[in-house]
């Protein structure tokens, strides 16, 4: 009896693994025609969306994924393939601000602040892609990130009826662990799109690109979320976290 249960459990795990890999490959196949590896092959788009990631690992070591995305953004801009760079990332904590970090590094590389747009509410890939369309009023844009991330971002865009292409920047050589995690991230994206039908956590006011405005070099940037709205959002996230921790403590008793 126990042997049969073990065999059944292993069989179920194998089937689930095959399905997960199959869905992963399907997403790659579905988006392959919209990905470019060379900057000279890129079509011109007014807006290039740089998907955020941490600049450093917890150990303080520089994140190679971040460096490659910054270099890709610089190459796309300097080659005249994009006019504006929309930096979309997480800013849920005051001590962690992906868009501002990217902005500082891109400005240090010579890109003018007037051509840099900040999206502080790109908490997830889905948020970044949908907000580019609904908040920044841009329906045909270039995504800049690694290929595996390109595929998931483009799949979300296609599902939402958004036109996009992607500039696939290089990945570090040691990518196996990240690639395995990406399979689960894609399953999560499929769940968000087809079952939960999720939308971005926060949208905010419409801010078309370009818009007439002036930004000082030391200013916070081109805000998709006002300081007041960001404070409200931070309070909401803190309340959700506190509620989740309370539920965990209650269930452990």
What pLDDT score does 228 carry? 60
Where does the pLDDT of residue 24 fall: very low under 50, low under 70, confident under 90, or very high at 90 and above? very high
pLDDT at 220: 47
* CATH 1.10.510 assigned to 34-235: no
Q: For residue 36, what are its two tokens?
A: 């470019």
User: For the residues of 163-216, what is the DSSP string, one character each?
Assistant: EEEEEEE---S--HHHHHHHHHHHHHHHIIIIII----S---S---SS------
Query: Any idea what the Cα angle at residue 30 is, between residues 29 and 35, rounded to 5°?
Result: 80
Q: What is the pLDDT of residue 94?
A: 56
Note the pLDDT tens digit of each residue in 212-247.
444 445 544 444 555 566 667 667 777 777 777 776
pLDDT tens column, 36-52: 999 999 999 999 999 99
Place of tokens 């994140």: 63
Using alpha carbons, select from 74, 76, 81, 85 the residue that is nearest to residue 50. 85
Conformation bin of residue 148: beta by default, left when phi > 0, alpha when psi is -120 to 50: alpha
Check residue 251 and give its pLDDT. Answer: 58
**Among residues 37, 49, 44, which one has the least CA distance to residue 143?**
49
Which residue ranges make up each domain of the chain? Answer: 34-235
Residue-wise pLDDT tens digits, 103-119? 999 999 999 998 999 99
CA of 60: how far to CAs of 54, 57, 95, in Å?
11, 5, 15
**35 versus 224: which is more confidently predicted?**
35
pTM of the model: 0.81
b vs e for 142-166, b when ≥16 Cβ sit within 10 Å of the residue's Cβ?
A: bbbbbbbbbbbbbbbbbbeebebbb
Residue of higher predicted confidence among 211 and 42: 42
Q: What is the pLDDT of residues 128-154, one digit of tens each?
A: 999 999 999 999 999 999 999 999 999
For residue 41, the model assigns a pLDDT of: 95
State yes or no: pLDDT of 12 exceeds 80.
Answer: yes
């Amino acid at each position: 009896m126990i042997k049969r249960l073990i065999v059944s459990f292993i069989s179920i795990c194998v089937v689930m693994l095959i399905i997960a890999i199959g869905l992963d490959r399907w997403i790659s196949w579905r988006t392959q025609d919209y990905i470019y590896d060379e900057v000279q092959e890129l079509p011109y788009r007014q807006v290039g969306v740089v998907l955020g990631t941490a600049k450093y690992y917890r150990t303080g070591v520089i994140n190679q994924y971040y460096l490659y995305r910054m270099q890709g953004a610089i190459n796309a801009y300097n080659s005249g393939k994009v006019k504006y760079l929309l930096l979309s990332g997480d800013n849920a904590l005051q001590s962690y601000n992906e868009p501002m970090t990217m902005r500082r590094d891109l400005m240090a590389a010579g890109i003018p602040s007037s051509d840099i747009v900040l999206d502080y509410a790109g908490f997830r890939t889905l948020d970044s892609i949908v907000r580019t369309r609904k908040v920044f009023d841009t329906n045909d844009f270039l995504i800049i990130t690694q290929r595996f991330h390109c595929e998931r971002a483009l799949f979300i865009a296609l599902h939402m009826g958004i036109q996009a292409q992607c500039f696939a920047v290089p990945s570090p050589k040691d990518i196996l662990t990240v690639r395995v995690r990406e399979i689960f991230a894609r399953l999560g994206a499929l769940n968000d799109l087809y079952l939960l039908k999720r939308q971005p956590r926060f949208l905010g006011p419409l801010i078309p690109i370009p818009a007439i405005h002036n930004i000082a070099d030391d200013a916070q940037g081109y805000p998709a979320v006002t300081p007041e709205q960001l404070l409200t959002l931070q309070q909401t996230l803190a309340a959700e976290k506190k509620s989740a921790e309370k539920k965990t403590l209650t269930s452990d008793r």
